[in-house]
Structure 1
Amino acid sequence: MTTPPPHTKPKTGEITTIRPTRPAPTPPPRPPIPHTRPKPIHPHPRVPLLTLLKITSVAGGIQFGWALQLSLLTPYVQELGIPHAFASIIWLCGPVSGFFVQPLVGHISDRATTRFGRRRPFILAGAALIVVAVTIVGFSADIGYFLGDYRGGADSKKRPRAIVAFVVGFWLLDVANNTTQGPCRALLADLTGKDHRRNRVANAYYSLFMAVGNILGFATGSYTKWYNILPFTLTRGCRESCANLKAAFLIDIIFIVITTYISITAAHEVPLTSRDRPTSISQGSQQSSHTEEAFFWELFGTFKFLSGPIWLILSVTALTWIGWFPFLLFDTDWMGREVYGGNPEEGIAYHKGVSTGALGLMLQSVVLAITSVLMEKLCRKLGSGILWGVSNIIMSLCFIAMLAIAFAVSKAESSGYSTPSNGAVIAAVTVFTVLGMPLAVTYSVPYALVSARIESLGLGQGLSMGVLNLAIVIPQVIVSLGSGPWDQLFGGGNSPAIAVAAVASFASGLMAILVLPRSRAEKTRTLGMHV
């Protein structure tokens, strides 16, 4: 019997046999498919809030010294013999060092592979440099005396060597501050990852400790009898006001050592390996053999990749700091000159005004601390952009109030009153206090906004903070170079610079409210309020 060919129908009655087919071999079992979801290079476990609070404590130590700078150093440089018109140029070191140091440190820390982590070595090095710098600043009069100042007599006002020592220490202090602040901010972004709410909380903690440092620093600067508690600070080259400043900076050294220890021991960084280095947007370009060249190529190369919302944030930040810097530069000097009618080189009225100004700045820091605690709730209620804009308009109104107070006091002086009225002093201190609210917003909201939006570019958080820092330091350079000559053009007071600050802060407030993009959640909440 034959089997019919395939596809043929067998004839009727014909018996056919079906040849059994051989079963196909069973394929070998496939190996289990591994989990293909890519693992992040650095997983972000949920860091306890208490740990974030401890890490941000170093901001208190940094800000303690910064508060002493703001309250005491502008008057002090004029006591050393630097004219008011050139006092602002001394502050030029801050933005200049911020322009180069903070982005470079952030860039290097993004790629650091030390076993101690990426950020902590820079925080520790910056804190050590702060200790050296404040020692030089505090002992600058003694250094000048040792090198030959006062040889023309005990009352000689020529202290060129003390001025040189002071300027060196002052510039070194700003370099140290920028070395520490950038990695600390970047560390918070590293630990919170893509949890934007937790990042806002961490930046609010940072702002809170800045407020604590401000309170302690301004309280220390407002007390005028430290030389009685620390009598060794009085020397032949350093009298009462100088000894007060020296004692305050010695206290700052103790505080920065304590807070730095708490911060770096609380942070647990995973050491970065060479293959885990973050991918940058300029990776496709040829790598330079020099770190600095590669850094500036990458830093300035990022600007063409920035989106419109990021440019708007940077613009509002720049205008905000054009508003803040004249006040931060001349706050206690304004109180001593415009309110108390004093002169740095003669009489006690000026120094009494400086002390009152430091008291006002301390109260300002209390408001800053309270606002920092409420920052997350305020951002959820109003939205970050609206909150930022409203706070900047409040800042503008405060500066306008300062102009009105100075005008009223000058009218009273022309009528024969030699001392300011209690009402003028209370009004000035109140204005200083209210400014704590917008200052808290400035210290936290821009950093959280940039950190959330710049992530998609593939930049490390250190370089991201450096990009934002450029929007802060460039306006400061402009103010430092222009405020002194601008004030001199109108008679030598501080009011012209404060007027510019009022205009800039009002413009930044309107821009934040009307132009700054809002998140989807903020838009939904706004629509719900109008229903």
Structure 2
Amino acid sequence: MSKWRGHPSVKGSSELVKMVLLCFSAIGITFTWGFEMTYCTPYLLNLGLSKSTTSLVWIAGPISGLIVQPIVGTIADQSTSKWGRRRPLMVVGSVITALHLFLLGFTKEIVGFFLPESEFSSRLTIWLAIYSIWVIDFAINASMSCSRSLVVDILPIHKQQAGAAWYSRLAAFGHLLSYGIGSVDLVTTLGTTFGGSQFKQLALISIFAVLATCAVTCWSVTEKRRCGDSDHLVHPPAPTSESEGNLLGALLVVDCEAFFLQAARLFRCWFPFNFYGTTWVGETYFRYDLTPEERKTRDPLSEIGRIGSSALVIYSLITFAGSFLLPLFVGSPDDSDFTHRPPRAIASFLNRIEAIKPDLLTAWILGHLGFSLSMSLAPFATSYKFATVLVASCGLPWAMTQWAPPTFLGIEVNRLSGESDTLPTTYQPVSGPHAASPHGALSPVHSQRPALSPLLPPGGDEASRNPSHTSSRSSASSSASAPPSSASGELSGIYFGILNIYTTIPQFLGAVMSGIVFSILEPKRAQTRWKATTRSLR
């Protein structure tokens, strides 16, 4: 088994502060995703790409998820850096992201500094923008993979669902900030000091966001240091390298529960919504809500970005609110064995809905059904308001999509790591009538329970990995007063990478299908229209 030095810890005087600091990097990551999803499609169209070609550019996301996250996760799992396993890669990914955000925002200026304006320089600008987007996708995926694995590594098992929920909340807040700032006319508000266009100023803000939030999380978290590995947790057949062997071994030993959890994400159809939602809302506004004279006097790139961002602000507000409120309405499997003591202000309301509360898996399925219904109505949107309503209605399904899978996988990873061999796989809502229960994630169900344990029990983490304590840990698992063991997360990078493989498969299909649909339905004059009606980004 692996040898560890030190104890995981998070700065902060309360559990709330610790959770926020641990998950703070999610704000910068999703802010950057929001900027990319809102403005990069109109930006590429403005440079002269057709929609069918632009859809192929976004294959960068699935490829980065398919290749980068599993490899980065495996490398991080084997790291013996004195700074920890996750934080160094988070920093590297954030710095690379920041550099290429600057390159993306000022592509025309950089090319124009070296080359005079010509057809070759225009093509070079397009290729440089595409290159920047691809590198940003690869680097931000590496940072996101490590930040999610960091939550699994640091938190004890009974805090895994709380950690996943807090990560989704701050991710929703990052999207909200991105869309909110994007809906403001920054050139009018801030002037041209930080760039003469909305796109450039948002690129600079994204640089600050991704670097600052990563710095906060890395400063506040102390990881265990991996000192050696005397035996493999998984046993693949004669691997050619340690990292490749561990990834292959993880793929081979995934049990039915983890497999079906991962396979379920094959049905995720969020790719077109995430990358084309802003453009769709903005073009609906241009097509149905403006007169031909008004269309000639508007800047499509800025207008589509701002209009689309306004719709996504409402969507993000609903997602952000849902990440706090949904846990109140999602039941736990051990409800029948637990006496609820909710806050008095909401006790009567919660007691009335107690009997009809779905569990987390059911709520996740309902979220998929709600998203499917909204998307089925999209072809009938003939106004900006109706398009905005459809986009906003996807807020709650997205909150469930961000919350449920990491919760299930975080619990499963720690079970596969051998931390909960004797414990049943149950989970506990982050808030609500039984949020104060100390054994929420993977613990025996008892009618009476002790007080809530701290975020990271002193000494519990080291003891849980000491072989001499195996018998005492087994006996403690049958006691109601025994504190839950801390999560090891030794395989978290590998298994989150595998989960992402299953997530990216439908994105490939979505990108290819989008390219086919656009090539058939897009008017041939579209590219010419974009060139004629858009202004140069200076």
TM, length-normalised to structure 1? 0.73
**Cα distance change of structure 1 residues 230 and 304 upon mapping to structure 2, 3 Å threshold:** same
- 3-state SS, counterpart of residue 226 of structure 2: coil
Deviation of the 1:492 alpha carbon = 5.7
Task: Work out the percentage of aligned pairs sharing the same amino acid.
Answer: 23
Alignment of 1:363 onto 2:322 = no
Q: Which residue is equivalent to 2:282?
A: 336
Q: Which residue is equivalent to 1:188?
A: 151
Deviation of the 1:73 alpha carbon = 0.4
Alignment of 1:304 onto 2:252 = yes
- 3-state SS, counterpart of residue 184 of structure 1: helix
Query: Distance in 2 between the 1:202 and 1:395 partners?
Result: 25
Alignment of 1:99 onto 2:66 = yes
Query: Distance in 2 between the 1:441 and 1:120 partners?
Result: 27
Deviation of the 1:375 alpha carbon = 4.1
Q: Which residue is equivalent to 1:440?
A: 399
Q: Which residue is equivalent to 1:29?
A: none
Alignment of 1:9-28 (within 5 A): none
> How many aligned positions are there?
417
- Residue segments in structure 1 that go unaligned for 5+ positions in a row: 1-37, 235-239, 410-423, 494-531
1:245 corresponds to which letter in structure 2? F
Alignment of 1:85 onto 2:52 = yes
Query: Distance in 1 between the 2:168 and 2:389 partners?
Result: 21
Alpha-carbon deviations, 1:224-245, whole Å to 9, x = none? Answer: 34266241455xxxxx6xx210
Alignment of 1:249-288 (within 5 A): 249-275=203-229, 279-282=232-235, 285-288=237-240
Q: Is the 8 A contact 1:227 1:233 kept in 2?
A: no
1:428 corresponds to which letter in structure 2? A
1:483 corresponds to which letter in structure 2? S
Q: Is the 8 A contact 1:143 1:161 kept in 2?
A: no
Alignment of 1:69 onto 2:28 = no
**Cα distance change of structure 1 residues 444 and 40 upon mapping to structure 2, 3 Å threshold:** farther
Q: Is the 8 A contact 2:5 2:227 kept in 1?
A: no
1:178 corresponds to which letter in structure 2? N
Deviation of the 1:54 alpha carbon = 0.7
Q: Which residue is equivalent to 2:86?
A: 119
Query: Distance in 1 between the 2:44 and 2:163 partners?
Result: 36
**Cα distance change of structure 1 residues 149 and 64 upon mapping to structure 2, 3 Å threshold:** farther
Deviation of the 1:163 alpha carbon = 0.9
Q: Which residue is equivalent to 1:482?
A: 513
2:224 corresponds to which letter in structure 1? V
- 3-state SS, counterpart of residue 453 of structure 1: helix
Alpha-carbon deviations, 1:113-166, whole Å to 9, x = none? Answer: 1111111111111111111111111111212322436347xxxx9821211221
Alignment of 1:160-239 (within 5 A): 160-195=123-158, 198-226=159-187, 229-233=190-194
Deviation of the 1:303 alpha carbon = 3.1
Query: Distance in 1 between the 2:8 and 2:115 partners?
Result: 58
Deviation of the 1:489 alpha carbon = 2.6
Of the structure 1 ranges 164-173 and 369-378, higher mean CA displacement relative to structure 2 is found in 369-378
Query: Distance in 2 between the 1:134 and 1:191 partners?
Result: 30
Of the structure 1 ranges 220-229 and 62-71, higher mean CA displacement relative to structure 2 is found in 220-229
Query: Distance in 1 between the 2:507 and 2:244 partners?
Result: 20
Query: Distance in 1 between the 2:129 and 2:2 partners?
Result: 52
Q: Is the 8 A contact 1:204 1:375 kept in 2?
A: no
Query: Distance in 2 between the 1:66 and 1:40 partners?
Result: 37
Deviation of the 1:306 alpha carbon = 2.1
1:315 corresponds to which letter in structure 2? A
Alpha-carbon deviations, 1:37-90, whole Å to 9, x = none? Answer: x99968977963421211211110111111011110001100001111111111
Q: Is the 8 A contact 2:250 2:494 kept in 1?
A: no
Of the structure 1 ranges 38-47 and 71-80, higher mean CA displacement relative to structure 2 is found in 38-47
Deviation of the 1:364 alpha carbon = 1.1
Q: Which residue is equivalent to 1:471?
A: 502
1:133 corresponds to which letter in structure 2? H
Deviation of the 1:332 alpha carbon = 1.5
Query: Distance in 1 between the 2:377 and 2:300 partners?
Result: 21
Q: Which residue is equivalent to 2:380?
A: 404
**Cα distance change of structure 1 residues 133 and 400 upon mapping to structure 2, 3 Å threshold:** same
Query: Distance in 1 between the 2:306 and 2:73 partners?
Result: 37
Q: Which residue is equivalent to 1:515?
A: none
| Higher RCO by CA contacts (8 Å cutoff, separation 6 or greater) | 2
Alignment of 1:348 onto 2:309 = no
Q: Is the 8 A contact 1:107 1:463 kept in 2?
A: yes
Alignment of 1:55 onto 2:7 = no
Query: Distance in 2 between the 1:487 and 1:331 partners?
Result: 15
Q: Is the 8 A contact 2:111 2:121 kept in 1?
A: no
Structure whose CA Rg is larger: 1
Q: Which residue is equivalent to 1:373?
A: 324
Query: Distance in 2 between the 1:230 and 1:121 partners?
Result: 36
Query: Distance in 1 between the 2:257 and 2:7 partners?
Result: 26
- 3-state SS, counterpart of residue 157 of structure 2: coil
- Residue segments in structure 2 that go unaligned for 5+ positions in a row: 332-356, 418-489, 525-538
Alignment of 1:388 onto 2:334 = no
Alpha-carbon deviations, 1:239-287, whole Å to 9, x = none? Answer: x6xx2101111112222222122111111112111147x833225x334
**Cα distance change of structure 1 residues 349 and 129 upon mapping to structure 2, 3 Å threshold:** closer
Q: Is the 8 A contact 1:149 1:162 kept in 2?
A: no
Q: Is the 8 A contact 1:340 1:349 kept in 2?
A: no
Query: Distance in 1 between the 2:22 and 2:77 partners?
Result: 18
Alignment of 1:444-459 (within 5 A): 444-458=403-417
**Cα distance change of structure 1 residues 45 and 129 upon mapping to structure 2, 3 Å threshold:** closer
TM, length-normalised to structure 2? 0.72
Query: Distance in 1 between the 2:113 and 2:515 partners?
Result: 31
Alpha-carbon deviations, 1:389-435, whole Å to 9, x = none? Answer: 11111111111222221xxx3xxxxxxxxxxxxxx222221222221
**Cα distance change of structure 1 residues 131 and 442 upon mapping to structure 2, 3 Å threshold:** same
Query: Distance in 2 between the 1:464 and 1:230 partners?
Result: 46
Alignment of 1:130 onto 2:97 = yes
